[in-house]
Amino acid sequence: MTLQLNDPDLLRQQAYVDGQWVDADSGATFPVIDPATGEAIAHVPRMGAAETRRAIEGAERARTAWAGLLAKERARLLRDLADAMLANADDLGTIMTAEQGKPFAEAKAEVAYAASFFEWFGEEAKRVYGETIPAPMPERRIVVLRQPIGVTVGITPWNFPSAMPTRKAAPALAVGCPMVLKPAEQTPLSALAVAVLAERVGIPAGVFSIVTGDAEDAPLIGGEMTSNPIVRKLSFTGSTEVGKLLMEQCSRTVKKVSLELGGNAPFLVFDDADLDDVIAAINVAKYRNAGQTCISANRVLVQDGIHDAFVERMVDLSRTVNVAPGFDPAATIGPLIDEPALAKVARHVEDARARGGEVLVGGGVHEQHGRTFFLPTVITGADMSWQMSNEETFGPVTAVHRFASEAEAVRTANDTPFGLAAYLFTRDHARIWRVGEALDYGMISINTGFISAAEAPFGGVKESGIGREGSHHGIEDFLEMKYLAWAGIRDAG
């Protein structure tokens, strides 16, 4: 399959290591598959520990000069990179739809979201301030510097092939830290295209490297990233299981970690909610990216008085969702990423059926498109014994729970080891405060289904992760504090 690009040079089949476009040492490659067709759209290198080590060593060589630039010089380069991404949004969107499956309009929106991290963090890095603290002795001064942490590594998932790499690389690069990134094996092409643009705008060699590998290579690449003493920080988005393993590996060289892990987002609808707002919000929180986001509504908890009206509207909404290949201009959701994703969604639906859930719409694969094109599905009668109440479904399936009281809703919502995002719909401001404070989640979305922005601190609590991405808090994770104890400041005499 050949992609129609205005600039075919953006589609790369080599990795970008220390400023060079290179193959794997072994020459081996793996195919990148279009989930809509099952066809290979490219082949990229199967790299391992040796190539990763070279990328890290290149980052170390680039580190001092990069950190030594003025913040506004780095900001200028990142602004140029953001502009280059926006100028090439059609091509970047085409690459993304081909490798990930999401509708082209949604892919282009992700490119803009991805570019916004470079713009925002470039500006914010001009405001990395130090501190002076009143000292306990007259001839002393206490000064605190905030300096780049050093060489960093990122490992990113397939659901946001452009925005997850930039959400990690932007704060790192902005404050002066080089980054070596490994994109998901399903979607390496979008990250490689960003590297093409980074090279074009003049980001120096070694500052931003991309190593590629498939599922078998991932432990080798990850192993080098987590064991190499040069690396001072790892930022990972992916499953809780892998996050725990990486954290354990990083502990051996005491690296700083940021982890954005699994979610199991509750979506709470109280009787007094505005149903139009709720439906507009769940259209985003459930159907964006076909439900394949860490913050997708996973347990929809609806109060008795509004339950039936909600279910009716949710079924109507789901019937309007157009499941089609991402390049079809009428598509509102595309295919699931691959067969294992389909198997999980199908297993959750079967489990719900077996436990007495009523499937009101959907429930299986789209007749015409087949493959992994799953139909928008609404199931009622859910409770916490269902598999989909305890695991992220990562698909366009809504399980509706019914609740009676606020206390019951909060208890059910918090009944999980995860704590990434929660959604809350009510017009009662006192309840917004009460429930907002009681929910054990890192992000609470109030009367809206969309919370993602470069300006906001994205991240979770409990087993959903550590640290925040986005906002000035996202920059903190790439800085170290250095205390200068300054003595000998005596009277002039």
Between 163 and 177, name the residue whose CB sits nearer to ligand SIN.
163
Evaluate whether 168 touches 154 at the Cβ level (below 8 Å): yes
Evaluate whether 134 touches 142 at the Cβ level (below 8 Å): yes
**Hey, is 489 helix, strand or coil?**
coil
* Least distance (Å) between residue 288 CB and ligand SIN: 8
Per the residue annotation, which of 260, 392, 463, 469 is the catalytic one? Answer: 260
Burial degree of 430 (CB within 10 A; 0-12, 13-18, 19+):
exposed
* Least distance (Å) between residue 306 CB and ligand SIN: 27
* Least distance (Å) between residue 326 CB and ligand SIN: 18
Burial degree of 482 (CB within 10 A; 0-12, 13-18, 19+):
exposed
Nearest to 132 by CA among 121, 140, 144: 144
Query: From the CA atom positions of the chain, what is the Rg in Å?
Result: 24
Q: How many residues does the chain have?
A: 493
Between 30 and 117, name the residue whose CB sits nearer to ligand SIN.
117
Distance between CA atoms of residues 232 and 225, nearest Å: 10
Between 52 and 332, name the residue whose CB sits nearer to ligand SIN.
332
Based on the residue annotation, tell me whether 260 is a catalytic residue of this protein. Answer: yes
* Two structure tokens written together for 273: 């909610």
Between 284 and 300, name the residue whose CB sits nearer to ligand SIN.
284
Between 294 and 323, name the residue whose CB sits nearer to ligand SIN.
294
Evaluate whether 182 touches 207 at the Cβ level (below 8 Å): no
* Least distance (Å) between residue 179 CB and ligand SIN: 18
* Least distance (Å) between residue 449 CB and ligand SIN: 11
Based on the residue annotation, tell me whether 339 is a catalytic residue of this protein. Answer: no
Helix ranges, 374-445 (H): 387-390, 406-413, 429-438
* Least distance (Å) between residue 421 CB and ligand SIN: 9
**Hey, is 148 helix, strand or coil?**
strand
Distance between CA atoms of residues 156 and 146, nearest Å: 26
* Least distance (Å) between residue 110 CB and ligand SIN: 9
Phi, psi of 22 (to 5 degrees): -135, 160
Evaluate whether 485 touches 142 at the Cβ level (below 8 Å): yes
- The residues, any chain, with a CB within 8 Å of residue 452's CB and separated by 6 or more, are 113, 295, 458, 470
Distance between CA atoms of residues 474 and 442, nearest Å: 14
Amino acid at 192: L
Binding residues vs ligand SIN (CB under 6 A) = 159-160, 163, 237, 260, 293-295, 452
Per the residue annotation, which of 185, 294, 392, 469 is the catalytic one? Answer: 294
Between 169 and 294, name the residue whose CB sits nearer to ligand SIN.
294
- The residues, any chain, with a CB within 8 Å of residue 346's CB and separated by 6 or more, are 364, 374
Task: Count CB neighbours of 370 within 10 A.
Answer: 10
* Least distance (Å) between residue 5 CB and ligand SIN: 25
Which residue of the chain is nearest ligand SIN when measured via CB?
452
Between 48 and 243, name the residue whose CB sits nearer to ligand SIN.
243
Between 80 and 260, name the residue whose CB sits nearer to ligand SIN.
260
Report the catalytic residues.
260, 294
